[in-house]
Amino acid sequence: MKRRIKPSRIYMGLLVLLIYLPILVVIVYSFNESRINSIWAGFTFQWYAELFKDKSILEALRNTLILATLSSLAAAVIGTLGAIGISKARLYSKGIVEYVSTLPIMIPEIILGIALLLLFSLLRLPFGMVTLLIAHTSFCIPYIYILVKARLVGMDRSLPEAARDLGASQLRVLLDITFPLVSPAIVSGMLLAFAMSIDDVIISIFVTGVNTNTLPIKIYTQLKTGVTPKINALCTLMFVAATLISLLSFHIGKKPDKIKKIKEDET
């Protein structure tokens, strides 16, 4: 049995290969001297050098990172407090609040995108970072909310009770018992939210302003007019960075696998 490779392994290997194929293509072409992607003209670092001179790409990158950081942080605060509150509070509208607040990831993104666009223009909010931040926060909250809530459901209820019996105040219980216990869920939720935010195209397109670009919006416009190899170079760098971070967290022993975490939280 051991000597031959199982067909299931071959299948998985092939599929992983296919998943990485377009990424590999982009990486290879980031070193291509030619501007046109169907011709290989020789090896070069030229695009990497030009990338760091391109102000508009760097600004888009900066916007994307700021946006992802702020929205996942805001969502972490709102979502965690909300999950803790809803799981403990006696409120009549609990079910409906829970349902509506997780709607952003239950409906096609485009619906939330146009809903927010219409609302923002009704309120006459200037389109730009602020509107992007609100929109991103709204679809980041569900990830954190769902994970933290699942964690709370699986949590040992006797711990906070014991702390209360020993005279700890409500706030102390929250800070010393509940937060440390749910923090892994908050972290995985934030990572997931962060990843979703830096990659969001649909909602961003609707709520961004004329002068505010995020990386996905920039790439989207380029895809329609013509992609510069600088984008290939940037994506290669981002992929390398993500790989390094993942490997690092893998080795440190912290679970980088967010999705597995969710699954564990659900049980």
Partner 1 sequence: MKKSRSPVPRARLNERRSNRYYVLCVLPLYIFTVLFVAGPLLYVLVLSFLKRADVWGVLNQFTLQNYADIAQPVYLKTFLSSLKLALVTTLLTVLIGYPFGYFMARLSAKWKKIMTLLLMLPFWVSSLIRLYGWIIIFRANGILDKILMGLGITDAPLKLLYSYPAVVVGMIYALVPFMIFSVYSSAEKLDWSLVEAARDLGAGPFTAFRTISLKLTMPGLLSGVILTFIPSMGLFFIADILGGNTVVLVGNVIQEQLMKAHNWPFAAALSVVLMILTSLMIYLYRKITKVKDLEGLV
Nearest one of 148, 37, 13 to 82, comparing CA atoms: 148
- State in angstroms the smallest separation of the CB of 15 from partner 1: 6
- State in angstroms the smallest separation of the CB of 82 from partner 1: 3
Number of shown-chain residues binding partner 1 (CB under 8 A):
93
- State in angstroms the smallest separation of the CB of 137 from partner 1: 7
Per-residue tokens: 23: 């990424």
**Which residues inside 33-72 make contact with partner 1, applying CB under 8 A?**
37-38
- State in angstroms the smallest separation of the CB of 156 from partner 1: 18
Per-residue tokens: 193: 């939210």
CA distances from 141 to 48, 171, 174, 180 (A): 35, 23, 20, 19
Measured CA to CA, the distance from residue 241 to residue 104 in angstroms comes to 29
Mark the segment that binds partner 1 (CB under 8 A) among 41-49, 52-60, 65-73, 193-201. 193-201
Which member of 35, 62, 254, 263 binds partner 1 (CB under 8 A)?
A: 263
Say if CB 28 and CB 39 are below 8 A apart: no
Residue 180 touching partner 1 (CB under 8 A): no
Which member of 112, 132, 186, 193 binds partner 1 (CB under 8 A)?
A: 112
Please give the torsion angle defined by the CA atoms of residues 195, 198, 199 and 201, in that order, rounded to the nearest 10 degrees.
140
- Choose between 12 and 49: whose C-beta lies nearer to partner 1: 12
Nearest one of 157, 262, 134, 258 to 207, comparing CA atoms: 134
Q: Which long-range contacts (CB under 8 A, 24 or more apart) does 109-112 make?
A: 109/139, 109/200, 109/202, 109/203, 110/202, 110/206, 112/138, 112/139, 112/203
Residue 201 touching partner 1 (CB under 8 A): yes
**Which residues inside 3-32 make contact with partner 1, applying CB under 8 A?**
8-9, 11-12, 15-16, 19-26, 29
**DSSP state letters, 224-237:** HH---HHHHHHHHH
- State in angstroms the smallest separation of the CB of 93 from partner 1: 8
- State in angstroms the smallest separation of the CB of 88 from partner 1: 4
Say if CB 100 and CB 140 are below 8 A apart: no
**Which residues inside 73-102 make contact with partner 1, applying CB under 8 A?**
77-79, 81-82, 84-86, 88-91, 97, 100-101
Which member of 68, 116, 152, 186 binds partner 1 (CB under 8 A)?
A: 116
- Choose between 42 and 89: whose C-beta lies nearer to partner 1: 89
Q: How far is CA 120 from the centre of its chain?
A: 23
Residue 259 touching partner 1 (CB under 8 A): yes
- State in angstroms the smallest separation of the CB of 101 from partner 1: 4
**Which residues inside 145-174 make contact with partner 1, applying CB under 8 A?**
145-146, 150, 170
